[in-house]
Amino acid sequence: MNEKPEKLIDKKGLRLDGRKADELRPVKIEVGILPNADGSAYIEHGKNKILAAAFGPREMHPKHLSRPDRMVLRCRYHMAPFSVGERKSPAPSRREIELSKVIRESLEPAVFVEYYPRTGVDVFIEVLQADGGTRCASITAASLALADAGIPMRDIVVACAAGKVEDKVVLDLFDTEDKVGSADVPVAFMPNLNAVTLLQMDGILTPDEFEKAVSMAIDGCKKIYELQKEALKTKYMLLEAEEEVEE
């Protein structure tokens, strides 16, 4: 899809990939797939393929970055050179540095950072294939990696975007819609505490459209959250199943 398509939404109201306006891309999540990490998760969100790994809590290096009153959360969002159509330089770009910060700030409210002073937790996010909405999928996977590492959390963070394509508010934009469409609103959300931890907007929306986009994104988050819970439980469910056989 290198050429700019003429119509992003057809007469029936279906989008380029055949979705309805409020339909998510298919999401597949797996937890605990990297044995060398303390916690890990893998997500396939549409054509996005993202790995997240969490390490710690451990001693902070370099030491001067540690905080006497809390744990330091560090995130590294990185896109593999082969993750996009044209080779991306593996050096961290301005965009990746910003996304690392944004992801860290959206995860931090969920983690009990004050329990473990002077320590650090590292989260590495590796985008293997990108197709729009990687920051949201990254947050979804990273929070599962943290939970899988056994780090106490207030809630699991889940993220999803909504945006505007041809004057219509739609859920979960993919690459072409993101580039050609007129607005993108990524939202990260803690479903049990009903709290938003990330809210960005790129493009132009009227206040009404913005509100509609946010509520649409939150509904999308809630759907992905169910998949997150299921993925997290599946890893530990095996243990429970064994128990039932025993009794």
Query: Which residues bind to other proteins, rule: CB under 8 A?
Result: 38-39, 56-59, 68-69, 110, 112, 116-119, 147-150, 152-156, 190-193, 229, 232-233, 236-237, 239-240, 242-243, 246-247
How buried is residue 236: exposed, middle or buried, by Cβ count under 10 Å (0-12/13-18/19+)?
A: exposed
Residue 167 or 240 having the CB closest to other proteins: 240
By beta-carbon proximity to other proteins, the closer residue of 38 and 178 is 38
Nearer to other proteins among residue 43 and residue 149 (C-beta) = 149
Smallest gap from residue 103 Cβ to other proteins (A): 18
Cβ closer to other proteins: 6 or 243? Answer: 243
Nearest approach in angstroms of CB 83 to other proteins is 29
CA angle (37, 133, 211) in 5-degree steps: 125
Q: How far is the CB of 163 from other proteins (least distance, A)?
A: 27
- Nearest approach in angstroms of CB 72 to other proteins is 11
Which residues does 26 contact at the CB level (< 8 Å), separation at least 6?
Answer: 44, 46
Minimum Å distance from CB 210 to other proteins?
A: 27
30 within 8 A of 41, measured Cβ to Cβ: yes
What minimum distance in Å lies between the beta carbon of 243 and other proteins? 5
Which residue in this structure is represented by tokens 């530990």? Answer: 236
In the complex with other proteins, which residue's Cβ is closer, 117 or 203?
A: 117
* Residue number, 9 or 71, with CB nearest to other proteins: 71
